[in-house]
Amino acid sequence: MILSGVEIQQNLGGSIVIEPFDPANLNPNSYNLTLHDELLTYEEVVLDMRQQNRVRRIKIPEDGLVLNPSQLYLGRTVERTETHSLVPMIEGRSSIGRLGLFVHVTAGFGDVGFCGYWTLEIFAVQPVRIYPRVAICQIFYHQLEGEFEAYSSDKYQHNQDIQPSMLFKELNPDARRYDPQLKLPFDDQDPVY
């Protein structure tokens, strides 16, 4: 069962946290999340699942930024969310989709217990100009039945920024590559470039 907008608002501060919360963004059965003013793009020609891939940070100016087709952009929501005892999911808004803009390639499904900003996998079918703080997607909540263990991944939980893929932590846990753009902690050993 999906929570109504009224239920979302009634659960704020309990099983749902949305910071900042704007009542104008509340929908009949979802809440609109807005786009932060930065994006990341990968710098590698070929992305390697077993390695931490280099990224470049792009600022979205107030007068907009044109996204190019065939390019993956990683963004994040302005809002930080927490979800306890519910399953959060995000979907693109229909007005955004009608511009040929996908806001999550495959990762719209959240986990119960997730706390942090939502990283958006943004892809444009044709060139489209985007703007910071636009309502880019919507979050909605499913009720969860049965016992569960809350999400506690060391990859994405409590993130503070856009999160590129960290699949390399699963496939190659000894791989280390320092990229100052990622602002990821590393141990006392010299970073590998």
Catalytic residue list: 121
Give me 191's structure tokens.
Answer: 């970073």
d(CA 130, CA 61): 9
d(CA 95, CA 101): 9
d(CA 181, CA 40): 9
Give me 72's structure tokens.
Answer: 């993956």
Q: Which residue has the tokens 């070929």?
A: 46
d(CA 119, CA 40): 10
d(CA 12, CA 35): 21
Q: 134, exposed or middle or buried, with CB in 10 Å at 0-12, 13-18, 19+? A: middle
Closest CA to 161 of 87, 101, 76, 95: 76
